[in-house]
Amino acid sequence: MIYNNLKVEEGDKVLVLTVNREKSMNAINSATMEELRHFFGEYAPKRKDVHGIIVTGAGSKAFIAGADIKEFLEMDAETGRRMAKKGQDVFFFIERSAVPVIAAVNGFALGAGCELAMACHLRIAGEHARFGQPEVNLGLIPGYGGTQRLVQLIGKTKAMELLLTGDMIDAAEAHRLGLVNHVVPSGEEVAKSGELLKKIGSKGPLAVANVIKAVNAFFQHNEDGFDTELRAFGASTGTGDFREGAQAFIEKRPPAFKGK
């Protein structure tokens, strides 16, 4: 698939995905959502040489400043439900990625942008980043998982306030609430994300994938997170990566994981 709204760059075993609609504050329209679906649902899972993905926005003003509201005007209840379902499915691809996905938030992360960032496993915010779910200002609610993931990340009380008021919070407040992992000087978001992925990339890739799977299970109503952890732990003990990691620990040397 040829991407018109996304830009993909390759680093050292890392893909940097940029939402490339700077003139529209990187707002997600239907075409961009389809490209995101292809990238996270088809392209990235096939890249077995990649140990992490960084998502950011073009320019310095916005990570993703929401969805393209103009496309909403012709919708009725059923077409709106289908659009939201597609967005949720795409963001589940991100959340369930076997390799870590980090949002490098370089500006406004509002509406769909905040929802996409929350679907990522980690979030690095530039000092001028802003977060919010302002849908109530339009007579809407979040449709791509915002009402669920915001509660998961910062708790019901504060999430309810932000969802009901549509207020924005700055990077420092987002960090205090636990919405972001680190705040860095503006322009250093991707570099910090790459630094984290380099550290994670030195660990056992099967173990990393199983951590993501087990943590996600905690929030799934139809899964027992403890059972998922048991099964993932058991599977891990039978891998060559575990034997290599244990032997390297005993021999006091860095492990050479092979993802097997």
- The residues annotated as belonging to the active site are 115, 135
- Tell me if 56 sits within 8 A of 104, measured CB to CB: yes
Q: Residue 233: which H helix or E strand, with range?
A: helix 225-237
Amino acid in the structure at residue 117: A
Q: How far is it, in rounded angstroms, from Cα 54 to Cα 124?
A: 10
> Can you say whether residue 29 is alpha, beta or left, with left for phi > 0 and alpha for psi between -120 and 50 degrees?
beta
Task: For residue 216, give every residue at least 6 positions away whose Cβ sits within 8 Å of its Cβ, in sequence order, or none.
Answer: 95, 96
Gyration radius from the chain CA atoms? 19
